[in-house]
Chain A
Amino acid sequence: MPLRAVEMGLSGWAGRPRERSWVVRPEHRTEVAEALRVAMARGSAVARGRGTAYGDVAMNRHGGVVATDRLRRLLAFQSDTGLLTCEAGVPLRDVVEFALPRGFFPAVTPGTWKATVGGCLACDVHGKNHHVAGSFAQHVTEFRLLTASGDVVVCTQEGTPELFWATAGGLGLTGVILDVTLRLRRVATSAVRVRYRKLADLDATFAALEEDEPEPYSVAWLDVLARGKKLGRSVLMLGDHAAPGELPPPWRSAPFALPPTRAIRLPFAPPPGVLSAPAVRLFNAFFYRRFSSRDEPVVQGLRPYFYPLEAIDNFNRLYGKPGFVEYQVALPRAAARDVFRTILERLSARGYGSFLAVVKRLGAGNQAPLSFPSDGYTVAIDIPARDERLFPILSSLDELVAMQGGRVYLAKDARLDARLVDAMYPGRAEWAALLDRFDPERCFTSSLSRRLALRGH
């Protein structure tokens, strides 16, 4: 039975845009080459995992899409080194559930465990520990890549540095990742010890983020709608994997137990008023008050700490049909505070509220030209896309960010202007030239790569 290309409407996690593509779904790695040929017959192709990137990075309007969600097999594990090899479509949840009972955890994890390891590599995602651990690709020792020529290249940091770092953060444009070997980190329990610090304004937030805390994980939740003196007030959440002795007694006997959780599924989108500015303001005020500023740590399961949004299986549905925009930018240390202040002021002045806005410190970037994290700070804000007036505001913020040496996170983007890309990612042209060597016909393109002319005009 030959593989079929099936026309489907696809969208990213944020629900916009929605576009038709031709999807081919291989069941095994042995079929990916055939799948790629079938997809390419539609003009071009890009791989797509489980669709948790926010924007149009894993979409290809009217073109081919190779869906990797059936490539979900674990292939090898070394219990002494913590090296795990798995197929590209394995979601991080499977990695966590496999690794924890064996005393391991992903060295870097984004805030969702639905994302696939292939997608995490292609977007070079980061986690709450970027300032100490770097990004996802830095913990990948090897992967296999199906390139446009149909060859499978074994990529390692030492052996094939060019293709390795072009693929890390390369947004799926170098080929289809078939399998990935990750180096996991050791943990002693499935619990996290979390310390909450309430910070009264943006200056306090930045001062706290600058401190070298002992915990490797740190992220500040921001109250976007707080104005005036309270602008930028936040709760800093500092976490570390707990030691067995820190667990409450019943848990101590099974230190790697993951409390079973049943995620809620929203059967329909809530009425629009639920996300109005007053409602969000109320929620945020409640959320802010919930935390006391005592330095006393709390021991909790790692799921609520690392993956709080997974409590609602389809939380993107909260925003209803218009979807939302996740605006995430990184800025160099010197400029970050002032630019963040401007972002918050402009959004809160227009009443664009958000349940979810976080700030975190980033460590040094890596050699991947399109990798997002770079030395400084990042802020990420979910904004309901309830009307079109939001977009000019964001475009003007993009200009400001670019001017200050910052960048927009492409894996979350669906609206950036192509003119700003080279300022944000200065290595883009060289990266594109390398891709043209492996893929002279430019078979690998996506809606995002065309919108931003990532591979050139």
Chain B
Amino acid sequence: MASRAVIVGATSAVGEALAASYARDGWALTVVARDPAALASVASNLRLRYGCDVLELHFDAGDPATAEAAGRACLAAGAPDVVIYAVGCNAADGAVEDPTEIALVHSVNFGSAAAFTAPLLRHLGGRRDAALAFISSVAGDRGRKANFIYGSAKAALNAYAQGLRALLHPAGVSVTTVKLGYVDSRMSFGLAPLALTISAERAARCIRTAVERRREVVYVPGFWRAIMTVIRAIPEGIFKRLPLP
């Protein structure tokens, strides 16, 4: 039987490119996303182009109460070999003073990730090559005044993945934290500097390689490791005065 990958957030540019990358190599897929119509198009495309077995699952990461049931539903086709949580949403302008938006951004980027993963944990252990990956962001490395609602959710996701990595290590399950830079996607369209932006396909290739090599924390693309090392090294007393966005 073909290995199965679960891609949560499969209607995002990176999620869809990841799904295509696995489908091309003959994997079976469970694609998970909020909008049933968009998800159906993504799934049809995967089936037609790659002839693969695709299950569709609807799940709104903005509603953490449904996350556990969604995670459980993924098990219906048997325990997956790879689970990649690729859901993310940026905060709207002025989110800092908007508790509803803060709750939503934290749920989508972090709370739902943990709740979705919870029912899967005991089913992943003991399998060869079982792997979990969480698509995080360089924004989680340091809170900047422009986007720290988003950044703080991703920072929480990073700490969660870090703990989970230690928890699952004895069971032989790898947990990869992917710190994405700018990807040519809906989130960055028109905002990110082009020279620093990579295509969703390239991001997907890098992510897949990291998962296959069972890496712990990766920056995609790799040059962000250097950039973030510098940004993290700036003393707080100076950082708070910098005219960074």
Contact = CB atoms under 8 A, between A and B. Distances in A.
B189 A76 contact: no
Interface string B31-47: 00001011001101100
Binding site secondary structure of chain A: mixed
B90 interface: yes
A28 B44 contact: no
Interface string A270-299: 000000000000000000000000000000
Contact of A27 (B44, B186, B190): B186
Contacts of B42: 73
A29 B38 CA distance: 7
A4 B41 CA distance: 23
Nearest to B49: A74
B190 A73 contact: no
Contacts of A23: 190
A73 B44 contact: yes
B11 interface: yes
A98 B51 CA distance: 11
A1 B89 contact: yes
Given A1-B89, A1-B186, A6-B190, A74 B45 contact: yes
Contacts of A25: 186, 189
Contacts of A5: 190
Interface residues of A, number: 22
A396 interface: no
Interface string B172-190: 0000000000000111011
A30 interface: yes
Contacts of B37: 28-30
Nearest to B90: A1
Binding site secondary structure of chain B: loop
Interface of A: 1, 3-8, 23, 25, 27-31, 70, 73-77, 87, 98
Nearest to B37: A30
Contacts of A77: 48
29 contacts: A1-B89, A1-B186, A1-B187, A4-B190, A5-B190, A23-B190, A25-B186, A27-B11, A27-B13, A27-B38, A27-B186, A28-B11, A28-B35, A28-B41, A29-B37, A29-B41, A30-B37, A30-B38, A73-B42, A73-B44, A73-B45, A74-B44, A74-B45, A74-B48, A75-B41, A76-B48, A77-B48, A98-B48, A98-B49
Contacts of A75: 41, 44-45, 48
Contacts of B186: 1, 3, 25, 27
Interface of B: 11-13, 35, 37-38, 41-42, 44-45, 48-49, 89-90, 92, 185-187, 189-191
Query: What 4 pairs across the A-B complex have the smallest Cβ distances?
Result: A6-B190, A73-B45, A28-B38, A74-B48
A296 to B, nearest CB: 39
Given A1-B89, A75-B44, A30 B35 contact: yes
Contacts of A74: 44-45, 48-49
A77 B48 CA distance: 8
Contacts of A70: 13
Contacts of B41: 28-29, 73, 75, 87
B22 to A, nearest CB: 17
Contacts of B35: 28, 30
Contacts of B89: 1
A98 B42 CA distance: 16
A98 B45 CA distance: 11
A274 to B, nearest CB: 29
Contacts of A30: 35, 37-38
B197 to A, nearest CB: 13
Given A25-B189, A28-B37, 17 more contacts: A1-B89, A1-B90, A3-B186, A6-B189, A7-B190, A8-B190, A27-B11, A27-B12, A28-B41, A30-B35, A31-B38, A74-B44, A74-B45, A74-B48, A75-B41, A77-B48, A98-B48
Contacts of A7: 190
Which one of B11, B42, B186 has the highest number of Cβ atoms from chain A below 10 Å of its Cβ?
B186
A6 B184 CA distance: 13
Which one of B38, B185, B187, B191 has the highest number of Cβ atoms from chain A below 10 Å of its Cβ?
B38
A77 B51 CA distance: 12
A326 B185 CA distance: 33
Contacts of A27: 11-13, 38, 185-186
A3 B35 CA distance: 16
A87 B42 CA distance: 11
A5 B92 CA distance: 16
